[in-house]
Amino acid sequence: MPSFLLPPLRIVQTAYVVADLDAAILRWHQAFGVGPFIVRRHIRLTQSLYRGQPMPLDISAAHVQSGDMQIELVCQHNPEPSAFRDMYAPGEEGIHHVAMFPQDYADTVAHYEAAGFPLATELVTGEQRGAAYMDTRALMGHMLEVYRVNDSLHAFYRFIAEASRDWDGRQLVIEVDNGSGAAR
């Protein structure tokens, strides 16, 4: 196994692929009492690459805070190859990745690639947030999401954490706009 000489990396999220986003939200709430879920449907992507080639990707996601950890539920709507489909066929579910905020996105992606963990999917959202999904299944049994960290991403994480902290239990789902990431 290659040695990892990166600075310590903090895991900020655990994510699961789900077949039905709304059903998964209810299951997670019933099982753990968490909420509210911040939901982005059919996330607008300005770039989506699968193993270096342009590939359409249609995903929706629900984010919820559980203590210090953010949980993400991801549903891929289209059948095309992706880091999500590498692990789960349509209708299948399970843990998919953990995510981190690196100090340097390009250096971290290059480091994992040089260590033998290829870049499976890379995407950029309309808010210029984005991520690389490194295929670390041989190391961890799941993917690793390396975020493109920017002010918009930090604001989104704060929004999710604050919504959880202030949650009165009434509104389980908060839909947010895919263009700005703001609640609607």
Element spanning 84, H or E: helix 83-87
Per-residue pLDDT reduced to its tens digit, 70-91: 999 999 999 999 999 999 999 9
pLDDT at 19: 98
For the residues 147-157, what does the mean pLDDT come to? Answer: 94
Nearest to 147 by CA among 87, 96, 82, 103: 103
Residue 6 domain flag: no
Residue 3 domain flag: no
E strands of 107-178, at which residues?
Answer: 119-125, 130-134, 143-148, 173-175
Domain that includes residue 47, residue range:
11-174
pTM over 0.85: yes
Nearest to 39 by CA among 25, 29, 18, 51: 25
Residue 106: pLDDT over 60: yes
Residue 110 domain flag: yes
Residue 4 domain flag: no
Residue 1 domain flag: no
CATH number of the domain that residue 100 is part of: 3.10.180.10
Residue 153 domain flag: yes
For the residues 135-147, what does the mean pLDDT come to? Answer: 96
The pLDDT confidence band at residue 177, using thresholds 50, 70 and 90, is confident
Q: How many domains does the chain have?
A: 1
Mean pLDDT, all residues of the chain: 92
Residue 181 domain flag: no
